[in-house]
Amino acid sequence: MAAVSAGEKSLRTRLDQAQKALAQLSQPRRGKKRLTQLSDRIEAAEEILRRDRVQGLLRLDYQVTTQERHLRRYRDRPARVVVESDVKLSVTLDEAALAHQLRMLGWRV
Range of the domain at 42: 2-61+93-103
pLDDT at position 22 is 94
Predicted local distance difference test score (pLDDT) of residue 109:
58
**Residue 82 domain-assigned?**
no
Q: pLDDT tens, position by position, for the chain (109 residues)? A: 677 788 889 999 999 999 999 999 888 888 888 888 899 999 999 999 999 999 999 999 999 999 999 999 999 999 999 999 889 999 999 999 999 998 888 766 5
Identify whether 85 is part of a domain: no
Q: How far apart are CA 53 and CA 32, in angstroms?
A: 25
Is 56 within the bounds of a domain?
A: yes
Residue 32 lies in a domain: yes
Burial 38-76 (b: 16+ CB within 10 A, else e): eeebeeebeebbeebebeebbeeeeeeeeeeeeeeeeee
Q: Is residue 83 part of a domain?
A: no
Q: What is the pLDDT of residue 31?
A: 86
Contact criterion met (CB below 8 Å) for 59 and 91: yes
Give domain status of residue 72, yes or no. Answer: no
Q: Is residue 19 part of a domain?
A: yes
Structurally, the chain folds into a number of domains equal to 1
The 10s digit of each residue's pLDDT in 59-87 is 999 999 999 999 999 999 999 999 998 89
> Does residue 39 sit within a domain?
yes
